[in-house]
Chains A and B, each alone.
Chain A
């Protein structure tokens, strides 16, 4: 019985593992300045082919091409290829007009049979740019992303090192005016891009080249067979892994900034993240022989990279195990359950303070816009639990007196139910976050938007992401059909570059 108790306690404490690993990842950023790649960089401007896969992108493609023409890069060393994936809107006409406006610099490629996904579209473009010797580097981007003028040249400078196969940039959320969800994503991208990618630079193993900003040397693309993998939903990650497995480096350049429009509705976000989540599960299985096996040629098999990958991938499992163990412990040893809960949430408080504070300081410009969402990232209920754990005395006093004042002191008698509620909250918050999606789907437009937003603030954006991960597990276990759901873009970005 004792072993069982301690086993449950260990499972509770393990619930903090994703946050502890994330904090370690953030700590590594402090070492980034010692691992910068600039000593091997040079101001080089390889002849670069920019591939823009486009399916019904008439709303955004013209302005994207115009912006690319204004990049701070020698014009004679830049060609833009709009790969029209059998669009049924005005995309072909717009692309042809741009090709006529910038002769010899913009090209329109057309696939007559489309709808197979981004990777197939990119392969059409890759075959074209590899067919002659002009291209020395290829930049793969999305049709709606906005490159700040110096971004491309800040990426190409790393290709002066022949050991580098690919370079990625810092993707920032750019919807303006945006809404609460895009601000949450804005904060998430500080943690997932600006922070996590820096620590991956330190480690020497990068998890993913951003789909909207991946620069490859010609040698790398040729070594990968001149094609992007078409069998998974995470072709970007597969390309990233294959690049590193062949011994080439992948670099994250944090000072090359690219703005992207992200979903403004929970449904849009759910669709996008479900694709990413399922893709990551496919990658995990595809590279099963890579994890936790050191290899001289690459660092993907290092223990630290494995921990980063799996604690994030399995975060919902950790949370459910922690909650279930707490509830079980409550019935067999309530004082031990309380101690385990306290230890878990103290760790949560410390990691939350560290990560939130540091993330806002890593990108203060974005931080000024999203600081409220950064604070509310774990959700209102979790914030209250954290406050209760860290300053129980004053809160208990306030609660007692507050309840007496409103004549509801009897509520205190529900202490046991309250205790069980906070034990179950780590897992329960995912259910509440899922209800936000249900509300958006089933209630009238305005009411649905208000209620779903309120539920996200209550449950936390992090819980929403965990709920999507759970849905991805289920889809993969049921071998659901692998389809490419395109994220809807409106072109509503008001980022001045």
Chain B
């Protein structure tokens, strides 16, 4: 399968810092990919370059096989929803009407249904919307556009938990009927974990991890117990993040555990807890690049 997004050696330098440093990645058509990382990691810059809003300093970016910048054949099959989108002095319905003109697959019924779900008043001026409501508007546009490539940058800033669940549910439901490529950047990793088929973790402008979400479940485990027992268990394993409290210690063991490992842990009276995706990302961001890929490969 050819990748719908293909990035090679992408670098974006600003005057005093490097936002993206030799980033290479591929995204297959028809998948939901999480772009995860801390504030300032380079997520937004990467998405802006993919959407042709920003220009690379070096490297190649291909979307549908062609560079996206100023290329309408590519851009018109793409929608970019960003947290800090500025709108003209529009009301909500004006923004939706305009968006509908630019997307051949625009679905007005879906847009109306989403407006109702989020309780978004169509006649309200956008600048009078709360932060959460403004995010909801972005989500409505991003989903109703049904664009081949849908880029969501922190789409639910300020949205409450109920509204976020609506977003996840609606996204999955519509994706099931109209498969497309969705790239979603977020900090709320565990919440979104259920949606994601692949994750890309970016830290300080570099890709530190790309993996199938399924492969990451159980790839790292927190092991805690008495120091000697933990040391016995972890001998010969890759260990991250050792924390000691009095005579007990807690470490993160990388690599899957088999039945024998679990029996051993039980006999040593150790607690085993699989790392959630969020914990894994936090750990991965703290490690030198590629350690996880080596161990999970």
A binds B: no
Footprint of B on A, CB under 8 Å? Answer: none
Chain B residues with CB under 8 Å of chain A are none
